[in-house]
Amino acid sequence: MVAQELGIAYHRNNFAIDAHHTMTIRTLFHSAASLLFAALSASFALAQPYGSAGVQTAVAKSQTSAEYGYWEYLPKDYSHTSPQKFGLMVFLHGYGERGSGEVGNAGLGKLVGGSWPTTFIANNARHYPVIVLSPQCSDPVAGQTIHDVCGWWNYARLRNFVTYALARYNIDPRRIYVTGLSMGGGGTIGLVREIRTQVAAAIPVCGTESGSAADANLAAIPLWFAHAIDDGTVNWSSTRNLINQITAETATITTGSDYTDASGPGNVPAGARNQTALYSLGTQTHAWENLGTTTNVDHDKRLRFTLYKDGGHGIWSRVYNDDPNMMNWLFIQRLNEAPQTCNLDINAGGAFDLKDARAALAWMLGFRGTTLENFAGFSGVNAAAIDQFLSAQKASGALDLDGDGEVRATTDGLMLLRIALGITDGVAITNKALNASGSRGNWSAVRNHLVNSCKLTLP
């Protein structure tokens, strides 16, 4: 019954279909061509994106190993192989956009009927710098009561979808973002709970999920909620309840400073404004700012809530547009970087020297066993120990001196050898031994890495 109401309300509040209709049809034709190409080339490639950089592409459910059909948007500068990795935004639609997951008007076409997520590519000014994947929840199946099969987001399946995405795209795992509206606003929180330690930040919009005491463990995650106080489809009390559970504020006030009562639309005073609350979790307090004036300066305000005084249920296109700081706030969030562990003193002798460099170079060349031991010339350090040590260093990123995503004897290894041989001139150290397109593509950057992370003493 609730779901039925959601569907009706969605259609009543639907927006901008006409303006986007021709574009949608063109997009679908383009997508069909892309899919054909993808199908032809799929057997020759490992996991690859389906579309091209700067383009949104329909990926049919029958076409992919993912559990959902989805729209794939790749940022303009996307590269599948570059050391530079890209953030991922998962967008979860509402009740009205459920479908077959296949290409066509009964499937992925429904997802671009509104302006979302088409606006990512329709408006150049708003090209997002992240990969945007928009899965499509299935239609309900008569007699089924399992989430997703019956037409609702299934949070475990969404977790699988993120795992799939991490394997297929060049994603920075520290920058996974989730957003969605209505049923997808609830789905956003559901997915955040599922992958709590993986999510960098999320924006749940007029979501259907309410809170429980367990949600206190979401306090470490930057979350920006939005809901309208006059939402007649999904009452804003679900969002208020969630925030109260997360903050555990003693005074659980979640109406704006312009509001005098928390009970709903009948109590919004004349002249009330749309406002955003910024929470200080440490002190269990929050302060309200008028919408659009929120600054990015205070990163510590991880929890935010924009309360619209009106707009009903269909506020999403406003939410994503009204406050230009919202997306800026989102995209600067990232999980704490793992501490960079770099140690080039393989034999724990107290310094990096020629034996360490020889061992590293031989290891990068693929030598193992007694050959590796002989190359290194350590006393009392066997090949297995050298291999284990250098494998860990490689995994931490320490051995990729030029930051090109590869550990190579001819570049990274050669630079280490030259340094160990006592060469101090940066030009000589890096000569033909450095990938200039790496993230540390010059001597200054390599030197900073060796001095600051690896604690080498260099001139």
Q: How many CB atoms lie within 10 A of CB 165?
A: 19
* Two tokens, residue 193: 């709970």
Residues within window 340-379 making contact with Ca ion, judged by CB under 5 A: 345, 347, 349, 356
Question: Would you say 215 or 400 has its CB closer to Ca ion?
Answer: 400
Q: Would you say 194 or 345 has its CB closer to Ca ion?
A: 345
Nearer to Ca ion, 148 or 400 (CB): 400
* Residue with Cβ nearer Ca ion (194 or 353): 353
Q: How far is the CB of 413 from Ca ion (least distance, A)?
A: 9
Q: Which stretch binds Ca ion (CB under 5 A): 12-20, 107-115, 383-391, 396-404?
A: 396-404
Coil/strand/helix, residue 67: coil
Provide, rounded to whole angstroms, the least separation between the CB of residue 170 and Ca ion: 17
User: Smallest distance from the beta carbon of 405 to Ca ion, in angstroms?
Assistant: 7
Residue 392 CB, shortest distance to Ca ion, in Å, is 16
**C-alpha span between 187 and 152 (Å, rounded):** 9
Phi then psi for residue 166, to 5 deg, are: -65, -30
Sheet of 201-205, strand order: 56-59, 70-73, 131-135, 86-92, 171-181, 201-205, 223-228, 303-308, 275-280, 285-290
Interface of this chain with Ca ion, residues 289 to 348, rule: CB under 5 A: 345, 347
Residues in contact with Ca ion, counted by CB under 5 A, come to a total of 9
Q: How far is the CB of 53 from Ca ion (least distance, A)?
A: 24
**Binders of Ca ion among 423-452, rule CB under 5 A?**
none
Q: Report, in Å, the least distance between residue 406 CB and Ca ion.
A: 5
Residue 412 as a binder of Ca ion (CB under 5 A): the answer is yes
402 counts as binding Ca ion under rule CB under 5 A? yes
Helix (H) or strand (E) holding 419: helix 414-420
Spatial contact of 367 and 358, defined as CB atoms under 8 Å apart: no
> Beta-carbon neighbour count of residue 399 at 10 Å?
23
What's the closest the beta carbon of residue 107 comes to Ca ion, in angstroms?
Answer: 43
Nearer to Ca ion, 262 or 445 (CB): 445
Q: CA quadruple 231, 232, 233, 234: dihedral positive or negative? A: positive
Instruction: Answer whether 88's CB lies under 8 Å from 133's CB.
Output: yes
Phi, psi (degrees; rounded to nearest 5) at 59: -115, 105
Given the complex with Ca ion, which of 232 and 349 has the nearer CB atom?
349
User: Cα separations (Å) of 168 from 49, 72, 308, 420?
Assistant: 7, 11, 38, 39
Q: Output phi, psi for 275, to 5 deg.
A: -135, 155
Could you tell me the smallest distance in angstroms from the CB atom of residue 102 to Ca ion? 42
396 touches Ca ion by CB under 5 A: no
In the complex with Ca ion, which residue's Cβ is closer, 69 or 397? 397
End-to-end CA distance of the chain: 73
**Distance of closest approach, residue 339 Cβ to Ca ion, in angstroms:** 21
**171-179, 199-207, 245-253, 407-415 -> range binding Ca ion (CB under 5 A):** 407-415
Is cis: bond before 83, omega within 30 of 0?
no
When CB distances to Ca ion are compared, the closest residue is 349
Among candidate residues 181, 224, 170, 236, the one with its CA nearest the CA of residue 199: 224
Q: Does residue number 400 form part of the binding site for Ca ion (CB under 5 A)?
A: yes
Q: Does 209 bind Ca ion (CB under 5 A)?
A: no
- Which lies closer to Ca ion via its Cβ, residue 252 or residue 382? 382
Q: Does 390 bind Ca ion (CB under 5 A)?
A: no
- Which of 404, 433, 443, 446: binder of Ca ion (CB under 5 A)? 404
Judged by beta carbon, residue 243 or residue 420, the one nearer Ca ion is 420
375-383: Cβ within 8 A, 24+ apart = 376/346, 376/347, 378/346, 378/347, 380/347, 381/346, 381/347
Angle at CA of residue 55, ends 404 and 330, nearest 5°: 70
Site of interaction with Ca ion (CB under 5 A): 345, 347, 349, 356, 400, 402, 404, 406, 412
